[in-house]
Amino acid sequence: MSVLLEVIATTVADARLAAQAGADRLELVTAMGEGGLTPSIGLIEAVVDTVSIPVNVIVRPHSRSFVYDADDFAVMLRDVSAVKAAGANGVVIGMLNANGEIDREQLARAIDAAGDLAITFHRAFDEARDQQKALDVLLGFDAVTNVLTSGGKPSVLDAEATIRELALQAAGSRCTVLAGAGLTVDAVAGFVSRTRVEAVHFGSGVRIGGSGLAPVDSAKVAQVRALLDAEAKS
């Protein structure tokens, strides 16, 4: 089975290039330099209209923290409804309480608002106090089908042992560990081989010059796709 390749898109051109080069799924964001914030409705609609692969949209109202007050959360619920109406495949969302634990109540309410949309819990997970406990909480929510994580490190390449443990913990569940942050074309095959992850997430690593502000480099996406396919056969 080939490893799923998710690529961050910030424009319609990014989305088109990534899809044509072999990405399986997109994460649509704006403000990639801030870790990704909710994109405009116009961008969501345009990307959904342009590509045939699933488009998951981040719902994150600001980059101050992953602890949200009632006003922040009300905005997030409106955004979830708007993402759904725009025809996206899923939402990418995450929230913690002041103790560094997953905010179960907010997550449950967001899942209700999302209806049948796919739910990815994003890298708020990496700021949870206890990642194994946090994953157990997420595994209790059937709607959460992906957890995007760098294993608590700035680069996932420095957290291979943690990623392998998390992937084992999630094995056999409906939830896939989506490894991302710091992945590069050169490192991806070895990383997948050692961690046995079933899904990887690329941002800057498949952009021109490795810059988050640069466009997607379709040659790099195609290279990653080929490496993942080769790894699946080995």
C-alpha distances in Å from residue 211, one per residue of 10, 16, 199, 202, 215: 13, 18, 22, 12, 8
Segment 68-88, tens digit of pLDDT: 999 999 999 999 999 999 999
Give the three-state DSSP class for 36.
coil
> What's the confidence (pLDDT) of residue 234?
78
Query: Domain of 104?
Result: 4-233
Containing H/E element for 177? Answer: strand 176-180
Q: Which residues of 21-31 are buried (b: 16+ CB within 10 A; e: fewer)?
A: bbbbbbbbbbb
What is the band of 93 on the pLDDT scale with cuts at 50, 70, 90?
very high
The angle, 0 to 180 degrees and rounded to 10, between the axes of the packed helices 160-170 and 131-139 is 30
Answer whether 196's CB lies under 8 Å from 167's CB.
yes
Number of domains making up the chain: 1
The CATH number of the domain where 120 resides is what?
A: 3.20.20.380
Answer whether 194's CB lies under 8 Å from 228's CB.
no
Segment 169-207, tens digit of pLDDT: 999 999 999 999 999 999 999 999 999 999 999 999 999
Answer whether 87's CB lies under 8 Å from 60's CB.
no
Would you state the structure tokens that stand for residue 151, as one six-digit string? 């294993």
Q: How many helices and strands (H and E) does the chain possess?
A: 8, 8
* pLDDT over threshold 90, residue 148: yes
Could you give phi then psi for residue 179, rounded to 5 degrees? Answer: -85, 125
Rounded CA gap, 106 and 32, in Å? Answer: 24
What is the band of 138 on the pLDDT scale with cuts at 50, 70, 90?
very high
Rounded CA gap, 136 and 36, in Å? Answer: 25
The pTM score is 0.97
